[in-house]
Amino acid sequence: MKKKIVMLMLAAALAATAVAGCSKNNTSQEQDIASDAQEATMPDGAIDEAFGQPSEDETGDAAVQNSNRIYGVITDVSASEQTITVDNQSDVSSTGEMILTIDPSNTEIIDAQTGLPVELSEVQSGSFEAYLGDAMTMSLPPQCTPDMVIVNIAEDAAAPQYAVAAEDPADAADLENAIVLKATDGRTYVIDKDAQVTPYLTRNIVKLQDLTAGTACLLWEDENEIVTKVMIFAE
C-alpha cells in the first residue's frame, strides 16, 4: 500500500514538472514572437538620418540657388557688421531691400573707375552692381554673400562687367580689330584688340592673349559697347 502511495506521489511530481516546463517554453516563445514583432518595424535598407528633421522649406532660412548680377543703390553700410544694405532695382533675385554680407576672404569690393579694391569702411551710398554667391536666405530682408561688389560708379558711365570666359576668344566676324568673348553666363562681349589690359593686384605682365577659357576678368565698355579696358584676375 505504501509503495503504491509513493508511486502516485512520484507521478504527480513528474506531471507538475512537465507542466512547469511547458509553461516556461510557452513564455519563452511568446517573448521571441514579441521580439520578432519589434524587429519587423525596422526598415530593411539604410536609415535616413534626416528623417523627421525639418526640410529646407520649413526652416525660414532656406537657401535659394542664385548666381546673378544685380544693381541698384546702396542705402547703408555697416563696417562693424560687415554688411551693405542695398535697394535692388534689377528684376533678378529679390527686388527691393537686400543685405549683402561681406566675407573679407571671398568678397571683392572694387572701385568701378580704377578697378582697385575698396575697404568696406570706405564704401559710400550710391549706385552699385553685385554678383551674388550661390545661395540666398529667405529671411526678410533677404541676405546674401556676394562674390563681388562694384562701387563708386560714375553717373555718366557704365559699371565694368564681370565675366568668366567660356572659351577662348575668337576674331569678330564684322570688325577688323576686335575679338569676341563668350562668357559663362551667356553674354557676349566685343573687345578691341588695342584694349588696355591690366592684372588685378599683381605686377605680372598680361596681354589680351592671356584671356583664355576659364579666365575671370572685368570689362569696361565704351558708348558703343566695345570693350576698351580689361582687367584679368589671377587663376
* Per-residue model confidence as pLDDT tens digits over 134-184: 766 777 899 999 999 999 999 888 999 999 999 999 999 988 999 999 999
What is the number of other CB atoms lying within 10 angstroms of the CB of residue 195?
19
Between 138 and 69, name the one with better pLDDT.
Answer: 69
Query: Which of 110, 125, 157 is the endpoint of a domain?
Result: 157
* The pLDDT of residue 87 is above 60: yes
Is the CA virtual torsion 208, 214, 218, 221 positive or negative? Answer: positive
Boundaries of domain holding 167? 162-232
Name every residue whose Cβ is closer than 8 Å to that of residue 144 and which is 6 or more positions away in sequence. Answer: 66, 93, 98, 99, 100, 101, 132, 133, 135, 136, 137
Q: Which of 76, 73, 113, 108 is nearest to 90 (CA)?
A: 73
148-151 and 108-111 beta bridge pairing: parallel
Q: What is the pLDDT of residue 135?
A: 67
- Do residues 92 and 141 share a domain? yes
Q: With respect to residue 148, please indicate whether it lies within any of the assigned structural domains.
A: yes
Cell numbers at residue 190, please?
Answer: 566685343
* The pLDDT of residue 56 is above 70: no
CA-to-CA distance for 222 and 218, rounded, in angstroms?
14
Q: With respect to residue 21, please indicate whether it lies within any of the assigned structural domains.
A: no
For the whole model, what pTM was predicted?
Answer: 0.68
pLDDT band at 235 (very low <50, low <70, confident <90, very high): confident
- Do residues 133 and 168 share a domain? no
In this structure, what is the dihedral angle of CA atoms 207, 213, 217, 218, given to the nearest 10 degrees? Answer: 100
Q: Which of 185, 197, 166, 226 is nearest to 70 (CA)?
A: 185
Number of structural domains the chain divides into: 2
Cell numbers at residue 179, please?
Answer: 575679338
The rounded Cα 7 to chain-centroid distance in angstroms is 88
Q: With respect to residue 207, please indicate whether it lies within any of the assigned structural domains.
A: yes
CA-to-CA distance for 6 and 131, rounded, in angstroms?
102
- Do residues 153 and 69 share a domain? yes
Query: Which of 98, 123, 157 is the endpoint of a domain?
Result: 157
Is the distance from CB of 146 to CB of 83 less than 8 angstroms? no
Is the distance from CB of 221 to CB of 159 less than 8 angstroms? no
CA-to-CA distance for 197 and 194, rounded, in angstroms?
9
Query: Which of 157, 187, 204 is the endpoint of a domain?
Result: 157
Q: With respect to residue 23, please indicate whether it lies within any of the assigned structural domains.
A: no
Q: Which of 107, 94, 166, 159 is nearest to 133 (CA)?
A: 107
